[in-house]
């Protein structure tokens, strides 16, 4: 007789948004861990996000870098009142970087998160385990050591990028000259990201494929 193995599906329950706001889990355990250098930054991100969204709901207005003290105080209040089970030491410097560009969309991040979401959609077939709630990811290391001064919006499609790195940085990207071998599976993604960030797109820039 032929013997075949049948894999039996396992129910995988998910908590509600309210439940995971209160108890997001621990990084590299019940929460996806993304930072192996600054361990625990995911918990800081979570409670700061919770605090910032709570303040915005109370005020009816967006928060930003000027609200660091208020957001940190709100985060500590959420932890002390047990509105969240997270226990984290909030670093003011981390909080300032977190809030500085709180509502700034950056295309590279969007591309990364789009890929993550696409993989989650594929998981509906049941072969792989979905992300169990929150995924907090940061790239604080890429932030400039000194805050740029040329970040004012000019109506450019690259204003969001310039708000983080400055217009002079964007101009450097636009003036790059690159040679790319092929434009297949990876190349077309590079080409898209180059175009959306203005890489080689300036009057002195050049991309040869």
**SS3 assignment for 135-162:** CCCCCHHHCCCCCCCCCCCCCCCCHHHH
And the tokens for 161? 């990028």
| Residue-level pLDDT at 42 | 95
Residue 61 is given by DSSP the state S
pTM of the model: 0.86
Terminus-to-terminus CA distance in the chain, angstroms?
Answer: 57
| Residue-level pLDDT at 11 | 81
DSSP 3-state assignment of 110? Answer: helix
| Residue-level pLDDT at 104 | 93
Task: Give the chain's residues under pLDDT 70.
Answer: 1
Tell me how far apart the alpha carbons of residues 123 and 47 are, in angstroms, rounded to a whole number.
28
| Residue-level pLDDT at 127 | 79
Backbone phi, psi, residue 69, to 5°: -60, -40
The H or E element that residue 71 is part of is helix 68-80
Q: Which single residue is written with the structure tokens 């990364």? A: 112
| Residue-level pLDDT at 67 | 95
């Amino acid at each position: 007789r032929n013997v075949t193995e049948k894999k039996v599906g396992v129910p995988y329950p998910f908590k509600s948004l309210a439940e995971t706001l209160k108890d997001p889990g621990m990084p590299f355990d019940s929460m996806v861990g993304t930072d192996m250098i600054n361990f625990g930054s995911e918990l800081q991100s979570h409670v700061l996000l919770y605090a910032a969204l709570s303040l915005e709901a109370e005020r009816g207005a967006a928060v930003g870098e000027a609200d660091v003290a208020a957001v940190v105080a709100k985060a500590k209040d959420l932890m002390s009142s047990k509105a969240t089970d997270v226990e984290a030491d909030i670093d003011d410097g981390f909080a300032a970087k977190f809030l500085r560009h709180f509502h700034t969309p950056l295309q590279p991040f969007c591309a990364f998160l789009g890929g993550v979401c696409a993989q989650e959609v594929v998981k509906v077939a049941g072969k792989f385990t979905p992300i169990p709630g929150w995924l907090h990811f940061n790239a604080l290391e890429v932030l400039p050591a000194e805050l740029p001064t040329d970040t004012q919006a000019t109506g450019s499609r690259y204003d969001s990028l310039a708000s983080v790195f400055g217009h002079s940085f964007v101009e450097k990207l636009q003036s790059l000259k690159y040679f790319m071998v092929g434009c297949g599976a990876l190349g077309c993604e590079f080409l898209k990201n180059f175009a959306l960030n203005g890489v080689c797109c300036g009057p002195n820039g050049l991309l040869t494929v």
